[in-house]
């Protein structure tokens, strides 16, 4: 039997369509639809895209929480990147599940931090819903590569000092060209008479 489960948050709606069994558990996903209220376009896709979206949002939001920037996009189908301190750009190559065809133009939505939180929360609710895709669980243990760490205390300052010291040691081993000596003037430069 076909069914639809919808997770609504103040800034977005995530709907998953699929087949449910007699116990009302949805095991088979036929498609999903993600709609941000500030953008008229709808992101659609198959299970593959949903899983990539889930993984990308998890990795990105964890990096964001740690004040770091994620450097390895998981897939070119779903890309989430920081635009500035407060906005994040989500790009999805949307697939219409009925036509099974990738749309020519990827959908690009700019999200603020609260909208990113709502996207993450809608996916978390889907993951914790035991009646919808029970095999889809919140997995935060994926290895993640980060860069640009910001620390709360003086750790960053000490790290910076370490880099400077290493650079100084490195520089001391680099050959420095000796400047040519200029001959000293033979006579002292005349000064104004008192």
Partner 1 sequence: MVAETAQVNQPKGTDEPESCPRSVRIELDYILLAIEALDYEAMEAIVDCIHYLQLESAIPSRVALWRLRNTNPLRVTYQRGEFTVAQAKALVKIIATLAQRINTGLRLLVTTIQQVREGKIEALGLQQNQEFLNLYLDRFVYLHKCRMKPSPLSDQELKSLGEDLIVQLLFCSGTAGEQRLWYSLTAGELA
Positions that interact with partner 1 (CB under 8 A):
10, 61-62, 64-67, 85-86, 112-114, 117, 120-121, 124-125, 127-128, 138, 140-141, 144, 150-155, 157
Smallest gap from Cβ 40 to partner 1, in A, equals 21
Round to whole Å and give the CA distance between 1 and 19.
5
**Cβ of residue 175: shortest distance to partner 1, in angstroms?**
37
Contact of 57 with 81, CB cutoff 8 Å = no
- Residues 6 or more apart in contact with residue 30 via CB below 8 angstroms: 2, 17, 18, 19, 97
Nearer residue to partner 1 within complex by CB, 20 or 127: 127
Give 64's contacts (C-beta < 8 A, 6+ positions apart). 82, 88, 116
The nearer residue to partner 1, 32 or 64, going by C-beta atoms, is 64
- Nearest approach, Cβ of residue 78 and partner 1 (Å): 19
* Closest separation in Å from C-beta 41 to partner 1: 22
Complete DSSP assignment for 148-180: ----SSSHHHHHHHHHHHHHHHHHHTS--PPPP
Of 28 and 154, the one with the shorter C-beta distance to partner 1 is 154
Helix, strand or coil, per DSSP, at residue 163:
helix
Q: Kindly tell me which of 140 and 178 has the beta carbon lying closer to partner 1.
A: 140
Residue 150 CB, nearest approach to partner 1 (Å): 8
* Residue with Cβ nearer partner 1 (20 or 62): 62
Q: CA dihedral defined by 21, 26, 29, 33, rounded to 10 degrees?
A: 130
């Amino acid at each position: 039997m076909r069914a639809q489960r919808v997770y609504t948050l103040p800034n977005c709606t995530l709907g998953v369509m699929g087949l449910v069994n007699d116990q009302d558990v949805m095991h088979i996903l036929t498609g999903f639809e993600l709609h941000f209220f500030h953008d008229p376009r709808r992101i659609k896709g198959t299970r593959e895209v949903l899983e990539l979206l889930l993984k990308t949002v998890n990795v990105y939001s964890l990096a964001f929480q740690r004040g770091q920037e994620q450097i390895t996009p998981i897939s070119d189908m779903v890309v989430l990147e920081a635009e500035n301190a407060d906005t994040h750009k989500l790009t999805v190559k949307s697939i219409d599940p009925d036509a099974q065809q990738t749309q020519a133009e990827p959908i690009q939505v700019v999200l603020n931090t609260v909208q990113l939180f709502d996207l993450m929360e809608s996916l978390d609710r889907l993951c914790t819903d035991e009646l919808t895709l029970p095999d889809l669980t919140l997995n935060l243990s994926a290895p993640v590569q980060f860069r640009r760490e910001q620390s709360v205390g003086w750790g960053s300052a000490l790290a910076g000092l370490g880099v400077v010291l290493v650079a100084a040691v490195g520089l001391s081993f680099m050959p420095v060209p000796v400047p040519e000596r200029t001959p000293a003037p033979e006579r002292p430069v005349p000064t104004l008479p008192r």
